[in-house]
Structures are given as structure tokens and as C-alpha cells.
Amino acid sequence: MTTTVPDVTVTVIVHNDAARLPRAVASVRAQTHRALEIVISDDHSTDATPEVAAALAAKDGRIRVLRLEQNSGGCSAPRNRALEIARAPFLMFLDSDDELPPRAVELLLAAHRETEADFAMGAVERVRTDTGATSTWMAPLFGRRRTVRGIAEEPRMLFEPLSTNKMYRKEFLDRHHLRFPEGLHYEDQLFSAQAYTLARAFTVITEPVYRWYIAPHAAREAATISNRRHLMSNVRDRIRIARLIDAFLDAQGVPAAVREEKDFKFLSHDFRLYAGDLPHREPAWVAGFAAETVPYLDGLCAAAYARLDRDERVVIGLLREGRYEEARLAARGLGHGVGPRGTVTDPARGRTYWGGVLPVGAGAREDLDLTELDLQGCPFAAARFRHEITGLVRNTGPVVELAVRTYDPGLRLPLAPQPASLHLAPGGRRTTVPVRLDPAGRGVFEGTARLDLSAVALPVHGFWGVRHPVLEVTDGRARRTGVLLAPTDFTPFEVAGPGRHRITVEPEGRGAGRLQVRWRPAGSVGRLLAPVVRRSAVRRVARALVRG
């Protein structure tokens, strides 16, 4: 072990991750700034992690290994134990499945030396493990370099709760006895909220200082803690952390704008994650979710609710009213401009509400009020239609017949057969299938689309990816295109496509529950195309970031 006092301690926390630990540690060893120590904090792993950690320490005197006597089940304890033995005046944290870019330590340490900030933070590069595509986490927050002198100066920073893209002064953490809460998940959210609030100043730099690997299709048992939203204990932990943050902010006497930003962050991000999953949850789960969340939602400030999208407020209102099946229905349209199946008008108030039943509670009335959307008079291109697939039949070979029902809550379409078009566009090559929608009741139309997947146009080099069919309707002057919501329980099936492609038809696994079509080239074509697709995805994201 080196006797030189390091400038920075980087703690790498690990649990049963022997395969990826060497990559994480290698990214720290490769830092351009060399005067650092690496603490591998093992949360009592039962795989080969202890042996791997010992071997890594034997190769580099800067590495120290700390092993907890029993597994804590989270990230807090291994970080806190490492904090107790850290020797450097500056601290960073790294998870064993992620990496630090080569200049991360250098850049953050330079930021500290330029200012008297209590911590410095930089951008996070997110990398999808399935495609290699990259994006920047919370990109707008890292658009310019600056020093923020107190969270009241920039409350929106509360949206960025990670602890791993920051370098802290150890003196700052010790002075405030700031540690990660043990026994709870979402520990970063409380720790970061406290750090933002207690810091006299923190510096934001634009360069990436953390590489976060995302596995979007990981199995439930292998998913990260934040992706185990199907567990009610996960919901409870998030609510408990939110209450702890509220209590801390109240004790610190923060301005109302800071509390509003925290409440808005909870509504638009934390709650939104669970709301997007509701179409895929059983009714009993939704009822349990409402029991956990509604009491907390009722205490959030009105100003935060006023900033929330109407679609998300509708889901909250239905949960408040105990209309759980309708909440699942409403959640299927989140983020896609999907309307309800129908509306109801209260003549006494002159207001129009989501669904067929007048809301009872005052809060639900505000949430479910669609009057301002002007479903009847808004521009047709913004009309709120709802397209649901009521039947899906696979005919011979690659031909799929879709029974479609369109709901027109604003009664924008005349009571007559309506021409419509189904579009599917893999790789930018659009295929269009005509659909005739016939009246089936007031504001309801039904039709059938015959989709031959072998006839869908593909790029010359083939296509590897996912697309969602959309349905377009018109009033003769303007057009409105909307998503096709699929049954969430139909069994996926696979067909052979052109150019040795395999095509899978399936319900979207999360989000709105759209119909999803997945192409995958088979054989040698697929092996050649895969790296091309990944590089292309990276270039597309990079170009988008430059334009933004």
C-alpha cells in the first residue's frame, strides 16, 4: 500500500459482481489523475468477488479492500463504511457495473481547485447494454459550466439525485454528518437533497464524469433496485425517502420554490415511473399502490400540480377516486396524447371530466377536468383520439389482421365511414395500409387492418430494431396520427420476414402498451449488421446532442 496521502478516494461498491468489478476498477486505475486511492467496498458477496478484489489489490498498491460482515441489501452501508476509512480530502463513488471516463477525477478536482465549492458534479453518459446507444442523463442541467451558490438559486437541480457523478469535500460531509440512509433504497435521493441544501456552493461542469450502463430488458430478478418497481416494498421505500426529504427541507426552512420543485420532481418523475407501469399491473396491485401513494400525493403543493401534464393528473385523480381499472386505462396513453373513451359534463359547473362518472372529491375534480383541452374545438391535428386493438389474428405466414376500435371523445369525426391509414416505418422506410373505420356508436368507430409483414419496406442494408404502428385519421383538411394500443396479454409470435429477418409481434413491455414489431436479421447478415446498428445509434444520439 502506498504511504502517500492521495488527493481523491474513489469508492467502488460491489455485491456478487465478480465479472464486472475488474472493468470498473480498471476505469479508476486508468484515470489521468494518478494520486488517488481506490476502496473496493464489498457488501458481503457470496460469489468470487472477494477473490477478484484481492487479486486487483495485489496488482495496485492504491487499492484497498473492505468487506462488510453481513450483506446490507443496498448501497448505503458499503458507501458509509468506505467513508469512515477514506484518507483523501475528496471523495467519489462508483458502482461495480459502471465506469469512470478517463478524465473524470482530473476534471472534477480541477473544478474544486478553481472554486470553494463543497462538491463538484459533471454529466453522466448513459449506455444501453443491448444496443450500445448513448445519451446524456438530465442533459439540460449540464449545458453550461457554473457555480451555484445555494439550492435556492437553482432549485431544479433537485431533479438530479445521483451521488456517483459528484466529487465531495470530505470535510463538508463530515461537518454535516452527511451519510447515506441505511435500510432503505433510493438512498441517493435523500443524500443528494441534503447535499444540495447544505452546500454553500457547488460547481457544475459540462464534461461527462460517469458512465452509467443501462440494461432496459433485464429480467426482474436481475434488474437494478430502481427497476424493481413491481415490488410494493419498492413503492414504500420511495415514499418513505420522499417523506424524509420533506422533513429535512422543512427543518432547513427552504424557500417555497425549493419545496415546489421537489414536489414537482416527485410527480413528474418518481410517480410517473410507476404510472407508466400501471397498464401492466393487476388491479389488486393498483389498489395497493394507491393505498401507499395517495396519502402522500394529497400533501404535495398545488403549484407543483399546476405544472403537471393533464394526462398524469388524470391518473392521479382516478387513483384518488378508487377507480383503479380506469386508472390503468388512462395510464396507457401517457406521453402520447391519447384521449379517454368518453367524457362526462357537469352542467352545474360547466366542466368536462375524464370518463363516464362525475368525480366526487375536490382534488379528483381538479385532476380529471379536461375542459381546457377543448376536445371539440381544438385544432384537428391536436385532437384526442384513442385507437385500441380489440383483436389480433395471425393468418397464413406473415399476415396479421388487426381489429381496431377508435374512440372520438370530442366527436370530431362525422357519423359515417372514415378513411384511415396504418403506418409502419422501420429504418425510415414507411409502409402504409388503408383502413376503413365504420361508425359503431356515438364517438366510436371500428375497422380492420391487414398487415403483411413480409411486404413492409426495409432499408437496403436491413433493419435491426423496434417500431410501433400508428393510425392516421383525417377530417379532409388536417391529419392526426396516434399510437395503436395493443392488448397487454396476447402471446407474442414470430414470423419470417424479407432478407432473412426474423420479425416478432408483441405488446410493448412497458409504457403505453403499444403494439410493437421487432426486426432482427438472422444468420451472417445479423452478425454483420449488429455492430453497424450500434454505431449508427450512437451517431444519431451524438448528432441530437450537438443540435440540442
pLDDT digits (tens, 9 = 90+) for 320-373: 999 999 999 999 989 999 999 999 999 999 999 999 999 999 999 999 999 999
| 234 and 267 belong to one structural domain | yes
Per-residue confidence at 226, pLDDT binned at 50, 70, 90?
A: low
**pLDDT tens digits for 479-495?**
999 999 998 888 899 98
The answer on 390 and 365 residing in a single domain is no
Residue scoring higher pLDDT (348 or 538): 348
Lowest mean pLDDT among 252-256, 302-306, 513-517, 544-548: 544-548
Report the pLDDT averaged over residues 519-539: 56
Are 15 and 124 contained in the same domain?
yes
Position 224 scores a pLDDT of: 54
Q: Mean pLDDT of all residues in the chain?
A: 91
Q: Are residues 195 and 268 in the same domain?
A: no
Residue 528 lies in a domain: no
1 is a domain residue: no
Question: What CATH number did the domain enclosing 443 receive?
Answer: 2.60.40
Contacts of 85 (CB under 8 A, 6+ apart): 39, 64, 66
**Same-domain pairing of 89 and 158:** yes
Determine the Cα–Cα distance for residues 469 and 461; give it in Å rounded to an integer.
21
User: Is residue 543 a part of any domain in this protein?
Assistant: no
- What digits encode the pLDDT tens for the residues 117-135? 999 999 999 998 887 889 9
Residue 483 phi, psi (nearest 5):
-75, 160
pLDDT tens, residue by residue, 31-90? 999 999 999 999 999 999 999 999 999 999 999 999 999 999 999 999 999 999 999 999
* Contact status, residue 418 vs residue 437, Cβ threshold 8 Å: yes
Helix or strand (DSSP H, E) at 228 = none
CA angle 282, 284, 286 (to 5 degrees): 75
State the pLDDT at residue 83. 96
Checking if the pLDDT of 396 tops 80, the result is no
Q: Helix or strand or coil: residue 459?
A: coil
> What does the alpha-carbon distance between residue 220 and residue 237 come to, in Å, rounded to a whole number?
18
Q: Are residues 189 and 256 in the same domain?
A: no
- Average of per-residue pLDDT across 193-198: 98
| 315 domain-assigned | yes
Measured between alpha carbons, how far is 530 from 309 in angstroms, rounded to an integer? 38
Look at residue 274 and give its three-state secondary structure.
helix
Q: What is the pTM of this model?
A: 0.88
Question: Nearest Cα to 252, choosing from 152, 133, 172, 398?
Answer: 152
Direct distance between the N- and C-terminal alpha carbons of the chain, in angstroms, rounded to an integer: 46
Question: What's the chain's Rg over C-alpha atoms?
Answer: 26
Start-end of H helices in 352-496: 362-368
How far from the centroid of its chain's Cα atoms is residue 531's Cα? Answer: 25
Range of 138's domain?
A: 8-217
**CA nearest neighbour of 94 among 14, 30, 192, 183:** 14
The enclosing H or E element of 4 equals none
Together in a domain, 358 and 491: no
Half-sphere exposure at residue 184, Cβ-oriented, CA atoms within 13 angstroms: 19
Task: Tell me which of 60 and 540 has the higher pLDDT.
Answer: 60
Query: Of 356, 373, 390, which residue constitutes the final position of a domain?
Result: 373
pLDDT attached to residue 524: 52
Say what the pLDDT of residue 509 is.
78
CA–CA dist 418, 256 (Å, integer): 51
- Alpha-carbon distance of 191 to 93, in angstroms, equals 13
pLDDT at 445: 98
- Band the pLDDT of 461: cuts 50, 70, 90: confident
What percent of the chain lies above the pLDDT cut of 70?
A: 93
Q: Would you tell me the crossing angle of helices 324-331 and 283-297 to the nearest 10 degrees?
A: 90
For 85, the grid coordinates are: 476509512
Residues 114 and 194 in one domain: yes
Of the listed ranges 193-202, 229-238, 397-406, 532-541, the least confidently predicted one is: 532-541
> What is the reported pLDDT for 542?
35
45 CB burial (10 A radius; 0-12, 13-18, 19+): buried
Query: Is 530 among the domain residues?
Result: no
The 10s digit of each residue's pLDDT in 139-187 is 999 999 999 999 999 999 999 999 999 999 999 999 999 999 999 899 9
**Helix ranges (DSSP H) in 298-401:** 302-306, 310-320, 324-331, 362-368
Tell whether the model's pLDDT for residue 541 goes beyond 70: no
Domain C-terminal end among 317, 339, 373: 373
The whole-angstrom distance between residue 39's C-alpha and the CA centroid of its chain comes to: 30
Burial class (CB in 10 A: 0-12, 13-18, 19+), 492: exposed
Is pLDDT above 60 for 534?
no
176: number of Cβ within 10 Å: 14
